[in-house]
Structure 1
Amino acid sequence: MSEAKVFDYQFKYRVASRPGGEGLLSCFACGVCTAGCPVSEVEGDFNPRRIIHQILLGEQEELLQSEYIWLCVGCYRCTAHCPQDVEFTNLLKVLRELAVEEGTVSAEWKKVVDEVDRRTQELRRALIKYLWNKGINSLEEFERFYREEIAKLGWVEGEGSNAR
């Protein structure tokens, strides 16, 4: 028998009262945030609309223990497209802060994720410069290069199957 979910019906108000959470209660679950999210394109279980729904229901414990609040890349595409100005990216920042404050994760973990985000941008810049300088300018050439490089990284899931 599975454990019953615990709901904290004040959770949405705590999130909404923090800087970055102000627009939460304006969400009417249209799904535009999920439709435009690059993370949800490669991680099918990452669903901004579902995360907002969980906040509104008060699923604090489940959310703060979830790896999904750490997957957002902070591109703000969801925010740019949201008709209600909910600012989902900032909601995740609030959830991350709460996860540290509640002791679900360490402050050091948050620093690691912040550093991953920073270095990911460095890698993107370096990759574009490399492709430019090597004259790799067709999708076919890039996909071949990408698959070869991903194959060298054994810890990367999918072994390049997500290349587009």
Structure 2
Amino acid sequence: MENIKILYADDEARIRKMVKDFLTKHGIILIEACDGQEAIDKFFSEKDIKLVILDIMMPRVDGWEVCRTIRRESDVPIMMLTAKTDERDELLGFELGIDEYITKPFSLKILLARIDAVLRRAGGLEPNLIEVGGIVLDESAHEVRVDNTPVELSVKEYELLSYFIMN
């Protein structure tokens, strides 16, 4: 996920910093917005944004309206990252065209995995394949094939195989 540009809008500076620090360590370029209006302005002024992550409850313009505004012009994947846990909110998000809904508190590792999955589904990530002999390691999907046959591996087995192939 090197150099993937993501717009993240949340009015809570502490959460924005935590997300930014984590995602930038993984090669993501994070563009921050502290309210919905700033998110709209940055979305339309920046180039090559591959994903938008929105909080719902923000000043000036809420996340729902940001989503509506972006959807009128773009099919970029949108994720909601919010404290709103009500089923009606989640359903509204999917009706508006979001791709993922994550509630706070959340795991940064799970957030990264969901970003990866959404981008893969949207075609925003190139598969990262490593081939050695008859073994193909797909780092994007965390899948292994031997002679074009999928192989089920535990997480630890996958990590070990990946380590041995890379070294």
Give the TM-score normalised by structure 2. Answer: 0.32
Higher helix share: 1
Higher strand share: 2
Q: Which has the higher contact order (CA 8 A, sep 6+)?
A: 1
Give the TM-score normalised by structure 1. Answer: 0.32
